[in-house]
Amino acid sequence: MLQNSSRSILFLFLILVACTDQKPQTLDKNIDEPSTLYHNGDIITMVGDQAEYVEAVVEQEGNIVFVGTLSEAQKNYGIANKVDLNGATMLPAFLDGHGHVYFTGVVSLFANLLPPPDGPGADFNSIVQTMTEFNSSEDGQWASEKFKWIIGNGYDDSQLTEKDHPKSTDLDKISTELPVLIMHQSGHLGSINSKGLELMGWTAAETPNPEEGKLRRNADGTPNGVLEENAFFTVLFAVLNKLDPEVEAKAIKLGQEQYAQNGYLTAQEGRSTPEQVKSLERAAANGDLYIDIVSYPDMRMEGAYDLLSNGGHDDDHSYSNNFRVGGVKLTLDGSPQGKTAWLSKHYHVPPAGEDPDYHGYPIMSDSMANQYVEDAFKNQWQILCHTNGDAAIQQYLNAIEKAQAQYAYPDHRTVIIHGQTIREDQIERAASMGVDASLFPMHTFYWGDWHVESVLGHPRADYISPCRDALNAGLNITSHHDAPVTFPKSMRVLDATVNRTTRSGKVLGPDQKLTPYEGLKTLTDWAAYQYFEEETKGTLEVGKYADFVILERNPIKIDPIEINQITVLKSIRRGEVVFEKGN
Protein backbone atom coordinates (compact mmCIF):
# COMPACT_ATOMS: atom_id res chain seq x y z
CA MET A 1 0.00 0.00 0.00
CA LEU A 2 2.77 2.45 0.96
CA GLN A 3 4.76 1.35 -2.09
CA ASN A 4 1.82 2.08 -4.42
CA SER A 5 1.25 5.38 -2.65
CA SER A 6 4.89 6.34 -3.09
CA ARG A 7 4.73 5.49 -6.78
CA SER A 8 1.59 7.60 -7.14
CA ILE A 9 3.27 10.55 -5.44
CA LEU A 10 6.34 10.15 -7.65
CA PHE A 11 4.15 9.95 -10.76
CA LEU A 12 2.25 13.10 -9.81
CA PHE A 13 5.54 14.88 -9.08
CA LEU A 14 6.90 14.00 -12.53
CA ILE A 15 3.71 15.22 -14.17
CA LEU A 16 3.94 18.49 -12.21
CA VAL A 17 7.56 18.97 -13.26
CA ALA A 18 6.69 18.26 -16.88
CA CYS A 19 3.86 20.80 -16.80
CA THR A 20 5.81 23.58 -15.12
CA ASP A 21 9.20 23.17 -16.80
CA GLN A 22 8.85 25.25 -19.95
CA LYS A 23 10.86 23.81 -22.79
CA PRO A 24 12.56 26.32 -25.07
CA GLN A 25 11.22 26.54 -28.61
CA THR A 26 13.89 25.72 -31.14
CA LEU A 27 14.35 24.54 -34.71
CA ASP A 28 17.09 22.34 -36.07
CA LYS A 29 20.24 24.39 -36.40
CA ASN A 30 21.82 25.28 -39.71
CA ILE A 31 25.42 25.85 -38.68
CA ASP A 32 26.33 27.15 -42.13
CA GLU A 33 24.09 30.21 -41.78
CA PRO A 34 24.80 33.17 -39.48
CA SER A 35 22.43 33.76 -36.59
CA THR A 36 21.69 36.58 -34.17
CA LEU A 37 20.91 36.16 -30.47
CA TYR A 38 18.92 38.90 -28.70
CA HIS A 39 19.16 39.02 -24.90
CA ASN A 40 19.34 41.16 -21.74
CA GLY A 41 16.03 42.94 -22.10
CA ASP A 42 12.32 42.57 -21.55
CA ILE A 43 11.46 40.24 -24.43
CA ILE A 44 7.67 39.88 -24.58
CA THR A 45 6.43 37.07 -26.84
CA MET A 46 2.81 38.37 -27.01
CA VAL A 47 1.64 34.74 -26.83
CA GLY A 48 -1.43 34.16 -24.66
CA ASP A 49 -3.64 36.30 -22.47
CA GLN A 50 -0.90 37.42 -20.06
CA ALA A 51 2.54 38.88 -20.72
CA GLU A 52 5.09 36.10 -21.26
CA TYR A 53 8.77 36.98 -21.01
CA VAL A 54 11.74 35.01 -22.33
CA GLU A 55 15.45 35.58 -21.87
CA ALA A 56 16.54 35.10 -25.46
CA VAL A 57 15.39 34.97 -29.08
CA VAL A 58 17.57 33.74 -31.95
CA GLU A 59 17.10 34.75 -35.58
CA GLN A 60 18.49 32.87 -38.56
CA GLU A 61 17.80 33.47 -42.26
CA GLY A 62 15.08 35.97 -41.37
CA ASN A 63 13.11 33.59 -39.16
CA ILE A 64 12.89 32.96 -35.44
CA VAL A 65 14.68 29.68 -34.67
CA PHE A 66 14.82 29.81 -30.88
CA VAL A 67 12.75 31.29 -28.04
CA GLY A 68 13.67 30.50 -24.46
CA THR A 69 16.37 30.77 -21.81
CA LEU A 70 19.70 32.46 -22.38
CA SER A 71 21.63 29.38 -21.28
CA GLU A 72 19.87 27.18 -23.83
CA ALA A 73 20.35 29.80 -26.53
CA GLN A 74 24.07 30.02 -25.83
CA LYS A 75 24.32 26.24 -25.71
CA ASN A 76 22.67 25.82 -29.11
CA TYR A 77 23.81 29.04 -30.79
CA GLY A 78 27.08 29.85 -29.10
CA ILE A 79 28.64 31.36 -32.22
CA ALA A 80 25.66 33.61 -32.94
CA ASN A 81 26.11 37.34 -33.20
CA LYS A 82 25.01 38.76 -29.85
CA VAL A 83 22.70 41.76 -29.56
CA ASP A 84 22.60 43.12 -26.02
CA LEU A 85 19.28 44.91 -25.53
CA ASN A 86 20.67 46.74 -22.49
CA GLY A 87 17.36 46.54 -20.67
CA ALA A 88 15.22 47.69 -23.59
CA THR A 89 11.97 45.95 -24.51
CA MET A 90 11.63 43.74 -27.59
CA LEU A 91 8.29 42.80 -29.13
CA PRO A 92 7.04 41.45 -32.43
CA ALA A 93 6.92 44.29 -34.96
CA PHE A 94 3.65 46.19 -35.21
CA LEU A 95 1.07 45.67 -37.94
CA ASP A 96 -1.02 48.59 -39.18
CA GLY A 97 -4.65 48.03 -38.17
CA HIS A 98 -5.71 50.66 -40.68
CA GLY A 99 -3.88 53.44 -42.46
CA HIS A 100 -2.75 54.74 -45.81
CA VAL A 101 1.00 54.31 -46.14
CA TYR A 102 1.20 55.53 -49.75
CA PHE A 103 -0.93 58.60 -49.09
CA THR A 104 1.04 59.29 -45.91
CA GLY A 105 4.08 59.67 -48.13
CA VAL A 106 2.20 61.85 -50.60
CA VAL A 107 0.98 64.36 -48.01
CA SER A 108 4.50 64.57 -46.59
CA LEU A 109 5.25 66.53 -49.76
CA PHE A 110 2.75 69.27 -48.80
CA ALA A 111 2.61 72.02 -46.19
CA ASN A 112 1.87 70.72 -42.69
CA LEU A 113 -1.27 72.44 -41.40
CA LEU A 114 -1.96 70.09 -38.48
CA PRO A 115 -2.89 71.77 -35.20
CA PRO A 116 -0.49 71.66 -32.24
CA PRO A 117 1.22 69.49 -31.06
CA ASP A 118 1.70 68.04 -34.57
CA GLY A 119 1.85 71.26 -36.58
CA PRO A 120 1.32 75.04 -36.63
CA GLY A 121 -2.36 75.18 -37.67
CA ALA A 122 -3.89 77.23 -34.84
CA ASP A 123 -5.96 79.77 -36.80
CA PHE A 124 -6.62 81.15 -40.29
CA ASN A 125 -3.61 83.45 -40.14
CA SER A 126 -1.21 80.62 -39.28
CA ILE A 127 -2.60 78.58 -42.18
CA VAL A 128 -2.10 81.43 -44.64
CA GLN A 129 1.38 82.14 -43.27
CA THR A 130 2.44 78.47 -43.35
CA MET A 131 1.15 77.99 -46.89
CA THR A 132 2.79 81.20 -48.12
CA GLU A 133 6.15 80.29 -46.57
CA PHE A 134 5.92 76.75 -47.90
CA ASN A 135 5.17 77.93 -51.42
CA SER A 136 8.25 80.16 -51.40
CA SER A 137 10.50 77.35 -50.15
CA GLU A 138 12.45 74.94 -52.35
CA ASP A 139 10.19 72.04 -51.34
CA GLY A 140 7.08 74.10 -51.99
CA GLN A 141 8.26 75.24 -55.40
CA TRP A 142 9.03 71.62 -56.31
CA ALA A 143 5.57 70.50 -55.14
CA SER A 144 3.65 73.24 -56.95
CA GLU A 145 5.59 72.47 -60.13
CA LYS A 146 4.72 68.78 -59.85
CA PHE A 147 1.07 69.11 -58.79
CA LYS A 148 0.18 72.47 -60.39
CA TRP A 149 -1.61 73.37 -57.14
CA ILE A 150 -0.39 74.80 -53.83
CA ILE A 151 -1.41 72.11 -51.35
CA GLY A 152 -1.50 71.86 -47.57
CA ASN A 153 -2.70 69.04 -45.36
CA GLY A 154 -4.21 68.64 -41.93
CA TYR A 155 -6.12 71.77 -40.90
CA ASP A 156 -8.81 71.03 -38.32
CA ASP A 157 -11.70 73.44 -37.83
CA SER A 158 -12.36 72.02 -34.36
CA GLN A 159 -8.93 73.23 -33.23
CA LEU A 160 -8.82 76.55 -35.09
CA THR A 161 -9.52 79.72 -33.13
CA GLU A 162 -12.32 80.54 -35.57
CA LYS A 163 -13.95 77.08 -35.13
CA ASP A 164 -14.68 77.20 -38.86
CA HIS A 165 -13.24 76.15 -42.22
CA PRO A 166 -11.14 78.63 -44.22
CA LYS A 167 -13.09 79.65 -47.31
CA SER A 168 -11.99 80.56 -50.82
CA THR A 169 -11.61 84.24 -49.91
CA ASP A 170 -9.29 83.29 -47.04
CA LEU A 171 -7.18 81.11 -49.32
CA ASP A 172 -6.98 83.84 -51.96
CA LYS A 173 -4.51 85.51 -49.58
CA ILE A 174 -2.10 82.68 -50.44
CA SER A 175 -2.48 83.00 -54.21
CA THR A 176 -4.95 84.24 -56.78
CA GLU A 177 -2.92 82.96 -59.73
CA LEU A 178 -2.45 79.32 -58.71
CA PRO A 179 -5.17 77.03 -57.38
CA VAL A 180 -4.89 76.31 -53.65
CA LEU A 181 -6.14 73.18 -51.88
CA ILE A 182 -6.05 72.57 -48.14
CA MET A 183 -7.12 69.17 -46.82
CA HIS A 184 -8.98 68.67 -43.55
CA GLN A 185 -7.32 66.39 -41.02
CA SER A 186 -10.20 63.92 -41.28
CA GLY A 187 -9.47 63.36 -44.97
CA HIS A 188 -13.16 63.91 -45.78
CA LEU A 189 -13.30 67.65 -46.34
CA GLY A 190 -11.18 70.39 -47.82
CA SER A 191 -11.21 73.93 -49.09
CA ILE A 192 -10.05 75.55 -52.32
CA ASN A 193 -9.45 79.14 -53.36
CA SER A 194 -11.26 81.11 -56.04
CA LYS A 195 -8.87 79.92 -58.74
CA GLY A 196 -9.58 76.34 -57.71
CA LEU A 197 -13.33 76.91 -57.90
CA GLU A 198 -12.86 78.45 -61.35
CA LEU A 199 -10.85 75.46 -62.60
CA MET A 200 -13.47 73.03 -61.29
CA GLY A 201 -16.33 75.04 -62.83
CA TRP A 202 -17.94 75.60 -59.43
CA THR A 203 -18.59 79.35 -59.38
CA ALA A 204 -22.31 79.86 -59.98
CA ALA A 205 -25.16 79.62 -57.50
CA GLU A 206 -26.79 77.12 -59.86
CA THR A 207 -23.81 74.75 -59.64
CA PRO A 208 -25.18 71.39 -58.49
CA ASN A 209 -23.57 69.40 -55.71
CA PRO A 210 -21.42 66.53 -56.97
CA GLU A 211 -23.09 63.16 -56.44
CA GLU A 212 -22.48 61.96 -52.86
CA GLY A 213 -20.80 65.23 -51.95
CA LYS A 214 -21.61 68.79 -51.02
CA LEU A 215 -20.40 72.28 -51.92
CA ARG A 216 -20.85 74.59 -48.95
CA ARG A 217 -22.21 77.94 -50.04
CA ASN A 218 -22.35 81.66 -49.40
CA ALA A 219 -25.61 83.42 -48.56
CA ASP A 220 -26.21 84.04 -52.28
CA GLY A 221 -25.85 80.33 -53.09
CA THR A 222 -22.43 80.49 -54.71
CA PRO A 223 -19.88 77.88 -53.54
CA ASN A 224 -17.66 79.25 -50.77
CA GLY A 225 -14.76 76.85 -51.37
CA VAL A 226 -15.47 74.36 -48.56
CA LEU A 227 -15.95 70.84 -49.94
CA GLU A 228 -17.53 67.81 -48.29
CA GLU A 229 -16.97 64.15 -49.16
CA ASN A 230 -17.16 63.46 -52.92
CA ALA A 231 -16.86 67.14 -53.76
CA PHE A 232 -13.51 67.07 -51.97
CA PHE A 233 -12.51 63.70 -53.45
CA THR A 234 -13.31 64.93 -56.95
CA VAL A 235 -10.64 67.60 -56.57
CA LEU A 236 -8.23 65.34 -54.72
CA PHE A 237 -8.25 62.55 -57.29
CA ALA A 238 -8.03 65.01 -60.17
CA VAL A 239 -4.87 66.48 -58.63
CA LEU A 240 -3.23 63.36 -57.22
CA ASN A 241 -4.41 60.32 -59.15
CA LYS A 242 -1.54 60.12 -61.64
CA LEU A 243 1.86 60.99 -60.22
CA ASP A 244 5.05 61.14 -62.21
CA PRO A 245 7.75 58.55 -61.38
CA GLU A 246 9.80 60.97 -59.26
CA VAL A 247 6.83 61.90 -57.06
CA GLU A 248 5.70 58.29 -56.84
CA ALA A 249 9.10 57.04 -55.69
CA LYS A 250 9.54 59.86 -53.19
CA ALA A 251 6.08 59.32 -51.68
CA ILE A 252 6.56 55.58 -51.25
CA LYS A 253 9.95 56.15 -49.63
CA LEU A 254 8.61 58.77 -47.19
CA GLY A 255 5.59 56.67 -46.26
CA GLN A 256 7.72 53.64 -45.44
CA GLU A 257 10.12 55.76 -43.39
CA GLN A 258 7.34 57.08 -41.16
CA TYR A 259 5.97 53.61 -40.55
CA ALA A 260 9.34 51.97 -39.86
CA GLN A 261 10.29 54.77 -37.44
CA ASN A 262 7.31 53.76 -35.34
CA GLY A 263 7.82 50.00 -35.42
CA TYR A 264 5.26 49.23 -38.14
CA LEU A 265 6.68 46.66 -40.55
CA THR A 266 3.34 45.67 -42.07
CA ALA A 267 1.55 48.69 -43.48
CA GLN A 268 -1.82 49.17 -45.13
CA GLU A 269 -2.88 51.27 -48.06
CA GLY A 270 -6.47 51.26 -46.95
CA ARG A 271 -8.29 52.88 -49.86
CA SER A 272 -6.19 52.43 -52.96
CA THR A 273 -6.93 53.74 -56.40
CA PRO A 274 -5.93 51.42 -59.25
CA GLU A 275 -3.15 53.88 -60.07
CA GLN A 276 -1.80 53.62 -56.53
CA VAL A 277 -1.83 49.82 -56.74
CA LYS A 278 0.16 50.01 -59.96
CA SER A 279 2.60 52.43 -58.31
CA LEU A 280 3.14 50.04 -55.42
CA GLU A 281 3.54 47.11 -57.81
CA ARG A 282 6.23 49.06 -59.68
CA ALA A 283 8.01 49.89 -56.44
CA ALA A 284 7.86 46.24 -55.41
CA ALA A 285 9.24 45.07 -58.75
CA ASN A 286 12.08 47.59 -58.43
CA GLY A 287 12.97 46.33 -54.95
CA ASP A 288 11.99 49.62 -53.31
CA LEU A 289 9.72 48.18 -50.61
CA TYR A 290 11.49 47.25 -47.39
CA ILE A 291 8.37 46.78 -45.29
CA ASP A 292 5.32 44.69 -46.18
CA ILE A 293 2.47 46.67 -47.74
CA VAL A 294 -1.08 45.35 -48.12
CA SER A 295 -3.40 47.25 -50.45
CA TYR A 296 -7.21 47.36 -50.33
CA PRO A 297 -8.55 48.95 -53.54
CA ASP A 298 -11.63 51.14 -53.32
CA MET A 299 -14.43 48.96 -54.71
CA ARG A 300 -16.05 51.94 -56.39
CA MET A 301 -13.05 52.84 -58.50
CA GLU A 302 -13.12 51.79 -62.14
CA GLY A 303 -10.79 48.83 -62.61
CA ALA A 304 -10.70 47.86 -58.93
CA TYR A 305 -12.27 44.44 -59.48
CA ASP A 306 -9.71 43.62 -62.16
CA LEU A 307 -6.96 43.95 -59.55
CA LEU A 308 -8.44 41.08 -57.56
CA SER A 309 -9.59 38.70 -60.29
CA ASN A 310 -7.47 36.09 -62.03
CA GLY A 311 -5.09 35.55 -59.17
CA GLY A 312 -4.70 39.14 -58.07
CA HIS A 313 -5.89 38.12 -54.62
CA ASP A 314 -3.91 35.13 -53.35
CA ASP A 315 -5.67 32.60 -51.16
CA ASP A 316 -2.44 32.04 -49.25
CA HIS A 317 -2.02 35.79 -48.64
CA SER A 318 1.51 35.71 -50.02
CA TYR A 319 3.55 38.75 -51.00
CA SER A 320 5.39 39.51 -54.20
CA ASN A 321 8.46 41.57 -53.33
CA ASN A 322 6.78 42.75 -50.10
CA PHE A 323 3.49 43.77 -51.70
CA ARG A 324 0.08 42.17 -52.03
CA VAL A 325 -3.54 43.10 -52.61
CA GLY A 326 -5.37 41.95 -49.50
CA GLY A 327 -9.02 42.54 -50.38
CA VAL A 328 -11.29 45.50 -50.98
CA LYS A 329 -12.32 48.72 -49.25
CA LEU A 330 -15.80 50.20 -49.09
CA THR A 331 -16.78 53.58 -47.62
CA LEU A 332 -20.32 54.16 -46.36
CA ASP A 333 -20.11 57.54 -44.62
CA GLY A 334 -17.84 60.41 -43.62
CA SER A 335 -16.18 61.63 -40.44
CA PRO A 336 -17.79 62.49 -37.09
CA GLN A 337 -15.37 65.35 -36.37
CA GLY A 338 -16.22 66.82 -39.77
CA LYS A 339 -19.92 66.12 -39.09
CA THR A 340 -20.41 64.08 -42.24
CA ALA A 341 -20.67 60.67 -40.53
CA TRP A 342 -24.13 59.12 -40.84
CA LEU A 343 -25.76 58.93 -37.41
CA SER A 344 -29.13 57.56 -36.36
CA LYS A 345 -29.67 60.60 -34.11
CA HIS A 346 -28.86 64.24 -34.73
CA TYR A 347 -25.52 65.90 -34.06
CA HIS A 348 -25.13 67.67 -30.74
CA VAL A 349 -24.49 70.95 -32.60
CA PRO A 350 -25.31 70.83 -36.32
CA PRO A 351 -22.96 72.41 -38.88
CA ALA A 352 -23.72 75.99 -39.86
CA GLY A 353 -26.74 76.18 -42.13
CA GLU A 354 -28.09 72.73 -41.24
CA ASP A 355 -31.35 71.91 -39.44
CA PRO A 356 -31.30 70.91 -35.74
CA ASP A 357 -32.18 67.32 -36.68
CA TYR A 358 -29.19 67.01 -39.06
CA HIS A 359 -27.55 63.61 -38.61
CA GLY A 360 -25.12 63.39 -41.51
CA TYR A 361 -25.77 61.37 -44.63
CA PRO A 362 -25.03 58.05 -46.33
CA ILE A 363 -22.56 57.70 -49.17
CA MET A 364 -24.81 55.25 -51.02
CA SER A 365 -28.18 53.55 -50.99
CA ASP A 366 -28.87 50.30 -49.17
CA SER A 367 -29.16 48.44 -52.46
CA MET A 368 -25.74 49.66 -53.59
CA ALA A 369 -24.15 48.74 -50.26
CA ASN A 370 -25.77 45.31 -50.43
CA GLN A 371 -24.39 44.75 -53.92
CA TYR A 372 -20.82 45.69 -53.05
CA VAL A 373 -20.75 43.48 -49.95
CA GLU A 374 -22.36 40.66 -51.92
CA ASP A 375 -19.63 40.97 -54.57
CA ALA A 376 -16.97 40.65 -51.88
CA PHE A 377 -18.53 37.55 -50.35
CA LYS A 378 -19.24 35.98 -53.74
CA ASN A 379 -15.58 36.35 -54.71
CA GLN A 380 -14.29 35.60 -51.19
CA TRP A 381 -12.52 38.94 -50.95
CA GLN A 382 -11.83 40.28 -47.50
CA ILE A 383 -13.73 43.55 -47.16
CA LEU A 384 -12.80 46.48 -44.93
CA CYS A 385 -15.58 49.03 -44.59
CA HIS A 386 -15.29 52.61 -43.38
CA THR A 387 -18.27 53.18 -41.08
CA ASN A 388 -18.14 55.91 -38.44
CA GLY A 389 -21.80 56.60 -37.75
CA ASP A 390 -24.09 54.02 -36.20
CA ALA A 391 -26.51 54.35 -39.13
CA ALA A 392 -23.70 53.46 -41.54
CA ILE A 393 -22.67 50.55 -39.30
CA GLN A 394 -26.26 49.30 -39.38
CA GLN A 395 -26.27 49.50 -43.18
CA TYR A 396 -23.03 47.49 -43.29
CA LEU A 397 -24.21 44.80 -40.87
CA ASN A 398 -27.47 44.43 -42.80
CA ALA A 399 -25.51 43.98 -46.03
CA ILE A 400 -23.21 41.39 -44.45
CA GLU A 401 -26.19 39.46 -43.12
CA LYS A 402 -27.71 39.29 -46.60
CA ALA A 403 -24.41 38.24 -48.18
CA GLN A 404 -23.77 35.56 -45.57
CA ALA A 405 -27.18 34.06 -46.22
CA GLN A 406 -26.35 33.71 -49.90
CA TYR A 407 -22.65 32.78 -49.94
CA ALA A 408 -20.84 30.36 -47.63
CA TYR A 409 -17.65 32.16 -46.66
CA PRO A 410 -16.89 31.07 -43.09
CA ASP A 411 -13.49 32.72 -42.56
CA HIS A 412 -14.23 36.09 -44.11
CA ARG A 413 -12.67 38.28 -41.39
CA THR A 414 -14.84 41.16 -42.47
CA VAL A 415 -13.77 44.35 -40.69
CA ILE A 416 -15.56 47.45 -39.44
CA ILE A 417 -13.11 50.32 -39.93
CA HIS A 418 -13.31 53.10 -37.29
CA GLY A 419 -16.72 52.23 -35.81
CA GLN A 420 -16.65 55.44 -33.80
CA THR A 421 -20.29 55.44 -32.73
CA ILE A 422 -21.00 51.72 -32.77
CA ARG A 423 -23.75 50.83 -30.31
CA GLU A 424 -23.78 48.01 -27.77
CA ASP A 425 -26.45 46.11 -29.71
CA GLN A 426 -24.35 46.43 -32.87
CA ILE A 427 -21.29 45.05 -31.10
CA GLU A 428 -23.28 41.99 -30.05
CA ARG A 429 -24.67 41.59 -33.55
CA ALA A 430 -21.23 41.91 -35.14
CA ALA A 431 -19.87 39.28 -32.76
CA SER A 432 -22.66 36.86 -33.65
CA MET A 433 -21.86 37.33 -37.36
CA GLY A 434 -18.10 36.88 -37.02
CA VAL A 435 -17.40 40.51 -37.94
CA ASP A 436 -14.29 42.13 -36.47
CA ALA A 437 -13.37 45.77 -35.85
CA SER A 438 -10.40 48.06 -36.28
CA LEU A 439 -11.22 50.90 -33.90
CA PHE A 440 -9.82 54.42 -33.67
CA PRO A 441 -9.42 55.38 -29.99
CA MET A 442 -6.92 58.08 -30.99
CA HIS A 443 -10.09 60.14 -31.45
CA THR A 444 -10.22 60.41 -27.66
CA PHE A 445 -7.10 62.59 -27.74
CA TYR A 446 -7.46 64.46 -31.02
CA TRP A 447 -11.23 65.10 -30.98
CA GLY A 448 -12.50 63.85 -27.61
CA ASP A 449 -13.29 67.33 -26.29
CA TRP A 450 -14.84 68.30 -29.64
CA HIS A 451 -17.04 65.19 -29.56
CA VAL A 452 -18.32 66.19 -26.12
CA GLU A 453 -18.82 69.89 -26.89
CA SER A 454 -20.10 69.81 -30.45
CA VAL A 455 -20.31 66.46 -32.22
CA LEU A 456 -22.06 63.97 -29.94
CA GLY A 457 -22.36 65.25 -26.38
CA HIS A 458 -22.60 62.94 -23.38
CA PRO A 459 -23.14 59.97 -23.22
CA ARG A 460 -22.47 59.18 -26.89
CA ALA A 461 -19.05 60.84 -26.82
CA ASP A 462 -17.94 58.66 -23.91
CA TYR A 463 -18.58 55.54 -25.97
CA ILE A 464 -16.51 56.30 -29.07
CA SER A 465 -14.30 53.39 -30.12
CA PRO A 466 -15.51 51.12 -27.30
CA CYS A 467 -12.57 48.73 -27.25
CA ARG A 468 -13.41 47.06 -23.94
CA ASP A 469 -16.96 46.14 -24.88
CA ALA A 470 -15.89 44.97 -28.34
CA LEU A 471 -13.18 42.77 -26.87
CA ASN A 472 -15.46 41.37 -24.18
CA ALA A 473 -18.05 40.52 -26.82
CA GLY A 474 -15.52 38.39 -28.68
CA LEU A 475 -14.58 40.61 -31.61
CA ASN A 476 -11.00 40.47 -32.85
CA ILE A 477 -10.02 44.12 -32.48
CA THR A 478 -7.14 46.25 -33.66
CA SER A 479 -6.34 49.89 -32.87
CA HIS A 480 -5.17 52.21 -35.61
CA HIS A 481 -3.90 55.69 -36.50
CA ASP A 482 -5.47 56.11 -39.97
CA ALA A 483 -2.34 57.93 -41.18
CA PRO A 484 -2.13 60.52 -42.59
CA VAL A 485 -5.21 61.57 -40.57
CA THR A 486 -2.79 61.34 -37.65
CA PHE A 487 0.90 60.50 -37.72
CA PRO A 488 1.56 56.73 -37.53
CA LYS A 489 2.89 57.02 -33.99
CA SER A 490 2.52 53.59 -32.43
CA MET A 491 2.99 54.77 -28.87
CA ARG A 492 0.29 57.42 -29.23
CA VAL A 493 -2.01 54.71 -30.60
CA LEU A 494 -1.20 52.57 -27.56
CA ASP A 495 -1.58 55.54 -25.21
CA ALA A 496 -5.05 56.35 -26.54
CA THR A 497 -6.14 52.72 -26.38
CA VAL A 498 -5.00 52.44 -22.76
CA ASN A 499 -5.65 55.94 -21.34
CA ARG A 500 -8.40 57.56 -23.49
CA THR A 501 -7.24 61.04 -22.43
CA THR A 502 -8.47 64.14 -24.30
CA ARG A 503 -6.42 67.21 -25.20
CA SER A 504 -7.75 68.93 -22.08
CA GLY A 505 -6.74 66.03 -19.85
CA LYS A 506 -10.18 64.50 -19.31
CA VAL A 507 -10.64 60.73 -19.50
CA LEU A 508 -13.35 59.85 -22.01
CA GLY A 509 -15.14 56.58 -21.30
CA PRO A 510 -12.80 55.08 -18.69
CA ASP A 511 -14.75 51.81 -18.77
CA GLN A 512 -13.60 51.30 -22.38
CA LYS A 513 -9.87 51.33 -21.61
CA LEU A 514 -7.71 48.32 -22.41
CA THR A 515 -4.74 47.20 -20.34
CA PRO A 516 -1.28 47.96 -21.76
CA TYR A 517 -0.85 44.29 -22.67
CA GLU A 518 -4.20 44.18 -24.44
CA GLY A 519 -3.30 47.41 -26.21
CA LEU A 520 -0.10 45.80 -27.47
CA LYS A 521 -2.12 42.80 -28.68
CA THR A 522 -4.14 45.15 -30.92
CA LEU A 523 -0.87 46.13 -32.63
CA THR A 524 0.65 42.65 -32.87
CA ASP A 525 -1.13 39.32 -32.42
CA TRP A 526 -4.67 40.48 -33.17
CA ALA A 527 -3.50 42.67 -36.05
CA ALA A 528 -1.74 39.69 -37.64
CA TYR A 529 -5.02 37.77 -37.42
CA GLN A 530 -6.87 40.60 -39.17
CA TYR A 531 -4.44 40.22 -42.10
CA PHE A 532 -4.67 36.39 -42.17
CA GLU A 533 -0.98 36.39 -41.21
CA GLU A 534 -1.12 34.90 -37.72
CA GLU A 535 1.06 31.96 -38.82
CA THR A 536 4.01 34.21 -39.64
CA LYS A 537 3.63 37.45 -37.65
CA GLY A 538 2.30 38.96 -34.45
CA THR A 539 4.07 36.86 -31.80
CA LEU A 540 7.62 35.75 -31.04
CA GLU A 541 7.44 32.04 -31.80
CA VAL A 542 9.74 29.63 -33.57
CA GLY A 543 9.07 29.51 -37.29
CA LYS A 544 7.66 33.04 -37.53
CA TYR A 545 9.37 35.95 -39.21
CA ALA A 546 12.11 37.74 -37.29
CA ASP A 547 10.22 41.04 -37.37
CA PHE A 548 10.93 42.96 -34.16
CA VAL A 549 10.46 46.37 -32.60
CA ILE A 550 12.72 47.50 -29.77
CA LEU A 551 11.31 50.07 -27.35
CA GLU A 552 13.18 52.26 -24.91
CA ARG A 553 10.89 51.17 -22.05
CA ASN A 554 8.34 48.47 -21.30
CA PRO A 555 4.75 49.77 -21.72
CA ILE A 556 3.50 47.10 -19.33
CA LYS A 557 5.79 48.03 -16.44
CA ILE A 558 5.67 51.83 -16.44
CA ASP A 559 2.92 54.21 -15.34
CA PRO A 560 0.45 54.00 -18.28
CA ILE A 561 0.29 57.78 -18.48
CA GLU A 562 3.93 57.73 -19.68
CA ILE A 563 3.32 55.37 -22.62
CA ASN A 564 3.23 58.18 -25.17
CA GLN A 565 6.76 59.20 -24.10
CA ILE A 566 8.29 55.82 -25.03
CA THR A 567 10.78 55.96 -27.88
CA VAL A 568 11.12 53.38 -30.64
CA LEU A 569 14.81 52.48 -30.76
CA LYS A 570 14.92 49.96 -33.61
CA SER A 571 12.75 48.23 -36.17
CA ILE A 572 14.10 44.92 -37.44
CA ARG A 573 12.60 43.11 -40.43
CA ARG A 574 13.59 39.52 -41.21
CA GLY A 575 16.60 40.06 -38.99
CA GLU A 576 17.76 43.23 -40.78
CA VAL A 577 17.67 46.66 -39.11
CA VAL A 578 15.46 48.96 -41.20
CA PHE A 579 15.27 51.78 -38.66
CA GLU A 580 17.58 52.78 -35.81
CA LYS A 581 17.07 55.93 -33.78
CA GLY A 582 19.83 58.43 -34.40
CA ASN A 583 21.12 56.60 -37.46
Using the predicted structure, report yes or no on whether residue 447 has a pLDDT greater than 90. Answer: yes
Q: Provide the pairing of β-strand 223-229 with 189-192.
A: antiparallel
Nearest CA to 385 out of 405, 406, 408, 362 is that of 362
Distances in whole angstroms, Cα of residue 471 to Cα of each of 436, 441, 479: 10, 14, 12
Using the predicted structure, report yes or no on whether residue 368 has a pLDDT greater than 80. Answer: yes
The span from the CA of 346 to the CA of 366, in Å, is 20
Task: Read off the pLDDT of residues 190-232 as tens digits, 9 standing for 90 and up.
Answer: 999 999 999 999 999 999 999 989 999 999 999 999 999 999 9
| Amino acid 473: pLDDT | 98
Least confident range from 240-249, 309-318, 426-435, 441-450: namely 309-318
| Amino acid 482: pLDDT | 98
Q: What is the mean pLDDT of residues 347-366?
A: 96
pTM: 0.92
The span from the CA of 490 to the CA of 567, in Å, is 10
pLDDT tier at 27 (50, 70, 90 boundaries)?
low
| Amino acid 29: pLDDT | 59
Least confident range from 25-34, 260-269, 284-293, 378-387: namely 25-34
pLDDT tier at 17 (50, 70, 90 boundaries)?
very low
Task: Read off the pLDDT of residues 282-314 as tens digits, 9 standing for 90 and up.
Answer: 999 999 999 999 999 999 999 999 988 654 455
Q: What are phi and psi of 442, to 5 degrees?
A: -60, -20
Label each residue of 131-159 as H, E or C: HHHHHHCHHHHHHHHHHCCEEEEEECCCC
| Amino acid 18: pLDDT | 38
The span from the CA of 446 to the CA of 355, in Å, is 26
- In which order are the strands placed within the sheet that holds 383-387? 328-331, 383-387, 415-418, 436-439, 477-479
Could you tell me if 84 and 43 are in contact, meaning their C-beta atoms sit under 8 angstroms apart?
no
Task: Read off the pLDDT of residues 110-154 as tens digits, 9 standing for 90 and up.
Answer: 999 999 999 999 999 999 999 999 999 999 999 999 999 999 999
Q: Provide the pairing of β-strand 213-217 with 223-229.
A: antiparallel
| Amino acid 173: pLDDT | 98
Could you tell me if 148 and 141 are in contact, meaning their C-beta atoms sit under 8 angstroms apart?
no
Using the predicted structure, report yes or no on whether residue 242 has a pLDDT greater than 80. Answer: no
Using the predicted structure, report yes or no on whether residue 30 has a pLDDT greater than 90. Answer: no
| Amino acid 308: pLDDT | 86
**Maximum distance among all alpha carbons in the chain?**
102
Could you tell me if 487 and 118 are in contact, meaning their C-beta atoms sit under 8 angstroms apart?
yes
Domains of the chain: 120-240 (3.10.310.70), 332-514 (3.20.20.140)
Task: Read off the pLDDT of residues 319-338 as tens digits, 9 standing for 90 and up.
Answer: 999 999 999 999 999 999 99
Q: What is the mean pLDDT of residues 430-436?
A: 97
Angle at which helices 490-499 and 516-523 cross, to 10°: 140
Using the predicted structure, report yes or no on whether residue 433 has a pLDDT greater than 50. Answer: yes
Task: Read off the pLDDT of residues 484-496 as tens digits, 9 standing for 90 and up.
Answer: 999 999 999 999 9
| Amino acid 12: pLDDT | 36
| Amino acid 1: pLDDT | 36
Cis peptide before 459 (omega within 30 of 0): yes
Least confident range from 79-93, 299-313, 422-436: namely 299-313
| Amino acid 240: pLDDT | 87
| Amino acid 322: pLDDT | 98
| Amino acid 20: pLDDT | 36
The span from the CA of 457 to the CA of 347, in Å, is 8
Q: Is 464 left (phi over 0), alpha (psi -120 to 50) or beta?
A: beta
